Structure 1
């Protein structure tokens, strides 16, 4: 029998592992970096309670996943929810899809932060709207299982026999008008009532919680550092993630600029482009503030130039042009763009210029965005984002 210790701190010693990852940041001796990593550690720890205590494969339930509180690079257009599952059970997901741009489900073995590294994650299976038949009003149900149930002719999503979790993406294009889905998940097999946790189970879960921040930072720092080490700053390196979301091509980069400079992102847009976006991250792979900062845009929000190209400007102060990407006070960080199910995959370019000469590098007919127009743009964004489910 376990004898529980007199203080909870003895079960949280692995939190220091996350702080130890400072050595893998771009400026490990900078006090501001240390403070940011402390904040990031608390953010990951706050999510880890959901990961370990909220639900079980036998008693599934949707919980928040990546978002502005539980950071580490959520897509600002996506609302993510997660539930533990097991490949030995059958599940029914039902509800209404709402009017979001894309609804998708990914099941897999292992989740980042709950395993030691990306190499331990596998068994991916994705389905999205192209695979789901809806009622005219948007109602639907899907059976998720390792094998299609005998006689079942409705929506079915395969899960790997080794699967441990399933998560959603509610991908919204028009934040102002689209409506989030409403979903439930239930295990269809006979299971016992949800039991009170034992002392040993609680202590084990607390210890796993304390490991979670280090596991997250270790994996994602290496992911972002690999871009910088391969192509340096201000160069995109397109990639397709192994396993999950095979329809999506990412175009990451690491940005760097000074206060008197601007970075111009320029790209063609695929002829068939169901969804695309671009966002800014901090140097630790967290999405930058995106409710009260214009740190992301997408194919519905963005204004294209008269030649049909997309041009965005990263600058520490408002450059007075469309598609300002605000780095929220950071002179360096990450950029993540996405082409989803597009018929081509252009590689954007980044041009570093003096802010005072910005318009010399943009089309002559680039509109002026006044401070009043920018203020209204931001206010609309705040209202729209706050009305979405985020946690």
Structure 2
């Protein structure tokens, strides 16, 4: 090899970008270019949706910085919240408490903690992410309360993450596993207790965190920008597709949902509402299958759940009021028609929506129809 040729030109380029400031310029330019997703021709162009779009990009950036910079060390992993009340992705479930920890598939890990009292607790090992060209966040292993998560007499849990089988609670991982995603699903946030969890890498042998590696940081910041772009593009594409069939709730492509990090115990429906001020969308399920939970929610165009902390924008198995025949009717409108299970569009004449069956023993497709508010009672 000639003396002038570096053994690692990619590392040399990254270090040069750090030193010159080009890395920061590149990062800012990438975020600026991602703004074109908010200006897409088919997206609503009113001030509310436009402002929500810009806020959405700031939220995605916060999530990505946690994911790729602050919590990225697989040797010293910690759980953080990749979607929550003020940072939302892809029709985030208002009943869920999401957690995620970055790991390295070359090593073994242990999760310990208390089970809590949430209705459903699920763990998924994932490979890939929205920052990659194909946008896939593939599930490579799953363990949950629906499929036999073991809890001791004191309510404690221990889970081993490894490539080799392990006795007790075992979450399989592969060499290309990058993270573990946790879904804690409430029926009633006011009365149920979340699981308290921590994660550690096994066989670390007393190692301490190393100082920040400039070359690694360049990769992390570039991944941050790529994640914001990939996520914004992916779900803007989804919303564009849903908009073609307004006020319906077709079943999603379940296999595709799994490729994007969906829970294998969940059956998903996605749709788009578009209502005049004097109209309501009525969603009905004529029977409720035996299930861990079900829910329906409203989102904005960018597929962020609407403000569920203070407004009724979703309903679930526990909070719903049922018809005498055991079915359920949900009403979506801008004004309260005085009906059970009314959901407030919070000033949005249009947006996306989602319905889920969680751990259901069979699938019952919901029906949708648009009616005048004056027809409701």
Q: Calculate the TM-score normalised by the size of structure 1.
A: 0.85
Q: 2-side partners of 1:292 and 1:121: how far apart? A: 31
Equivalent residues of 1:92, 1:144 under 8 A apart: yes
| Match among 27, 31, 35 for residue 43 of structure 2 | 27
Mark the CA change 1:233 to 1:214 in structure 2 (over 3 Å): closer, same or farther. same
State the Cα distance separating 1:24 from its structure 2 match: 4.0
Q: 1-side partners of 2:232 and 2:52: how far apart? A: 12
1:365 is matched with: none
2:75 is matched with: 58
| Match among 290, 295, 319 for residue 337 of structure 2 | 319
1:177 is matched with: 191
Equivalent residues of 1:68, 1:74 under 8 A apart: no
Q: 2-side partners of 1:263 and 1:134: how far apart? A: 42
Further displaced range: 24-33 or 331-340: 24-33
Equivalent residues of 1:101, 1:172 under 8 A apart: yes
Structure 1 segment 339-350 matched on structure 2, within 5 A? 339-350=357-368
2:32 is matched with: 16
2:132 is matched with: 115
Further displaced range: 194-203 or 275-284: 194-203
1:307 is matched with: 325
2:102 is matched with: 84
| Match among 97, 120, 136 for residue 153 of structure 2 | 136
Q: 2-side partners of 1:28 and 1:293: how far apart? A: 23
Structure 1 segment 270-285 matched on structure 2, within 5 A? 270-285=288-303
Task: Give yes or no for the alignment of 1:224 onto 2:224.
Answer: no
Structure 1 segment 157-196 matched on structure 2, within 5 A? 157-190=171-204, 192-196=207-211
Q: 2-side partners of 1:7 and 1:161: how far apart? A: 29
2:287 is matched with: 269
Structure 2 regions of 5+ residues with no counterpart? 1-14
Equivalent residues of 2:288, 2:327 under 8 A apart: no
Structure 1 regions of 5+ residues with no counterpart? 360-391
State the Cα distance separating 1:83 from its structure 2 match: 0.7
Q: 1-side partners of 2:41 and 2:186: how far apart? A: 32
SS in 2 for 1:208: helix
Task: Give yes or no for the alignment of 1:237 onto 2:253.
Answer: no
Q: Calculate the TM-score normalised by the size of structure 2.
A: 0.88
Mark the CA change 1:86 to 1:8 in structure 2 (over 3 Å): closer, same or farther. closer
SS in 2 for 1:49: helix
* RMSD between superposed Cα atoms in Å: 2.0
State the Cα distance separating 1:25 from its structure 2 match: 6.1
Mark the CA change 1:124 to 1:315 in structure 2 (over 3 Å): closer, same or farther. same
Equivalent residues of 1:100, 1:181 under 8 A apart: yes
Q: Figure out how many residues of one structure are paired with residues of the other and give that number.
A: 352
Equivalent residues of 1:92, 1:188 under 8 A apart: yes
Equivalent residues of 2:122, 2:143 under 8 A apart: yes
- Post-superposition Cα deviations, 1:139-193, rounded to whole Å, max 9, x if no partner, equal 0101011112xxx422111112211111100111122211000011000033642
